[in-house]
Amino acid sequence: MEFFRPTSSQQIVPGRVTFLGPTYMFPNRDAVEFFLSAIWPIVRARSPKATLEVIGKNATGDKARFELHAGVACHGYVADIRPYFSEASCSVVPLRVGGGTRLKILDAWSMGKAIVSTSIGCEGLDNIDGENILIRDDPVQFADAVVRVLSDDDLRNRLGRNGRKTAEETYAWPVVGRKLNATYQEILTKATPIGGLDAG
């Protein structure tokens, strides 16, 4: 929570959309390909100046294919994602497969970014559609949500504030640590002493 901090409005680039994740991993590559083929053309038709930045290691072939689409730039691996994320108006998580911790959402929430995600992309997290995230599985509805975030300052700021609050109250290390310690204490309290075990 200290490393990732909310972005000032002066740093945000209007129309900037960001995807975070290495595309050598199939779920991320599939997500970007899905986004570019089914969603991005709609976004660009309605917001012609929108730009998409893909952050994360990708193969040379992937980079070349992705950047054939108008307004798309792939940055590959970067040592610090914050300067790139700070410019984002909207973070997208169009995942259709895969599991994991969804760190891309936790990072975006921590930086106070508005997020549009599929239901798979944010599963397992403390998300509330319309409050700290927009959840859309249909490509047209996903595109509509991205365009809304890009054009509606109030919506974008509200999602970002609520996302940061969710990160602070649920996923910050001190909060996680307290919950984990409480679980350990509960286990220890209920544990049977070694001397009390039936040797027979």
pLDDT of residue 22: 93
In a domain, 160, yes or no: yes
Q: Is residue 157 part of a domain?
A: yes
**CATH, residue 91:** 3.40.50.2000
3 belongs to a structural domain? no
> Does a structural domain hold residue 10?
no
**190 belongs to a structural domain:** no
With CA atoms as reference, report the closest residue to 57 among 39, 30, 79, 86: 79
Query: The tokens 């310690």 sit on which residue?
Result: 181
- The number of domains in the chain is 1
192 lies in some domain? no
pLDDT in tens, 37-58: 999 999 999 999 999 999 999 9
Domain ranges, residue 100: 16-185
Q: Which of 46-50, 150-154, 192-196 has the lowest mean pLDDT?
A: 192-196
Confidence band, pLDDT 50/70/90 cuts, at residue 200: very low
Question: Percent of the chain scored above 90 by pLDDT?
Answer: 73
CA angle 43, 150, 30 (to 5 degrees): 50
Whether 42 is in a domain gets the answer yes
User: pLDDT digits over 51-82, tens only?
Assistant: 999 999 999 999 999 999 999 999 999 999 99
- 199 in any annotated domain: no
Dihedral in degrees, nearest 10, Cα atoms 145, 74, 125, 108: -80
Q: What are phi and psi of 48, to 5 degrees?
A: -60, -20
Closest alpha carbon to 93 in 81, 102, 80: 102
Q: Which residues pair with 100 in a beta bridge?
A: none
Burial class (CB in 10 A: 0-12, 13-18, 19+), 72: buried
Sign, CA dihedral 138-23-17-176, equals positive
Mean pLDDT of 176-184: 69
74's enclosing H/E stretch is: strand 72-76
Residue with tokens 């914050």: 82
